[in-house]
Amino acid sequence: MEHYKFFQNRECEYFPCHDMEHLEEFNCLFCYCPLYGLKDQCGGNFRYTKKGVKDCSHCLLPHGKCGYEHVMGHIKGVLELGER
């Protein structure tokens, strides 16, 4: 009954947008990561470019098996950003 935690769109022109060994586990639910605005508090594998832009191209957290749980575990911080 947890089907809402996983979505895959193999028809997408960008699928997969990240390299991953087991494509059957690639989760497209968070196509654009809602944790981006948390900067260094997102818990993902990111880096900052020389121009100071957050680059998440090597992060698989929202796309992996526990991606839903990870995002939901940090979503309160995202909601707090909206209150500022």
pLDDT at 83 over 90: no
> pLDDT per residue over 53-64, tens digit each?
999 999 999 999
Q: Which helix (H) or strand (E) holds 75?
A: helix 67-83
Determine the residue type at 13.
E
Average pLDDT, the chain: 93
This prediction has a pTM of 0.85
- Where helices occur in the chain by DSSP H, the ranges are 67-83
> pLDDT per residue over 28-70, tens digit each?
999 999 999 999 999 999 999 999 999 999 999 999 989 999 9
Alpha carbon dihedral 23, 64, 68, 55, in 10-degree steps, equals -110
